[in-house]
Amino acid sequence: MKKRMFHCLVALILITPLWGHIYFWTDEEGVRHYSNVSPPEEGLVNELEETREISKTLARQQDKGPVFHVLKVYDGDTIQVSGLDLIFKVRLVGIDAPETGYRGKKNQPFSERSKAYLQSRLDKKQVRLKSYGTGGYNRQLAEVFVDNININIEMIKAGLAEVYRGKRPDSLNSRDYFKHEAIARKARLGMWRLDSAYKSPRQWRKEDAGK
């Protein structure tokens, strides 16, 4: 049997719930392969730094790249997806949604509505990701698109998330995010109807999450 030689690129990634490697290779017929199980037994293998190659791939291919299936919505800014033979978490970059309590901690006002709205936008949908690298807890930071609609910005428009007040990726177009936040705030949509009682999720995490 004729042996096939593969040129392989190996990218290390830490993900939840799976841990290990992501393998990318192109066979002799020019077919692109993805796997988190193992690379081909034979072939030239190059090892790349953790998570960077998949992030760059997703960033380049948002409108024509891999399609992912949404498995779970954790809250208004975190989801779990499957694709490329992987299951991993995605943190919607550039936004911060009201905090969902856990282990007996109370929910921030509008957290349940934020989660429900995100679920309604992603229910039975296939999504594409534009990655901005990795953030805390080894989650991919990404803009999520459904039919070329930026769901991150849709959360802002609905008044169910604010622009993330921490450090944002330099390449993210934050101007659009702030523009739509100002419109939602002026219209008192979603959480903005709380007026002076409103607390940003960042402030809530510091002051109220443990109460």
Question: Which is the catalytic residue, given 53, 91, 121, 143?
Answer: 91
**Domains of the chain (ranges plus CATH)?**
7-50 (no CATH), 68-207 (2.40.50.90)
User: Are 15 and 80 in contact, with CB atoms under 8 Å apart?
Assistant: no
185 a catalytic residue: no
Question: Which is the catalytic residue, given 99, 143, 154, 181?
Answer: 99
pLDDT tens per residue, range 116-136? 999 999 998 999 999 888 776
Q: What are phi and psi of 62, to 5 degrees?
A: -55, -40
Nearest by Cα to 76 from 159, 160, 158: 160
53 a catalytic residue: no
Is this structure's pTM higher than 0.75? no
Counting residues of the chain whose pLDDT is more than 70, the rounded percentage is 64
Q: Taking residues 165-182, what's their average pLDDT?
A: 94
- List C-alpha distances in Å: 148 to 60, 151, 154: 14, 9, 12
Q: Which residue has the higher pLDDT, 131 or 48?
A: 131
- pLDDT higher than 80, residue 60: no
29 a catalytic residue: no
Question: Which is the catalytic residue, given 53, 121, 128, 139?
Answer: 139
pLDDT tens per residue, range 94-112? 999 999 877 667 889 999 9
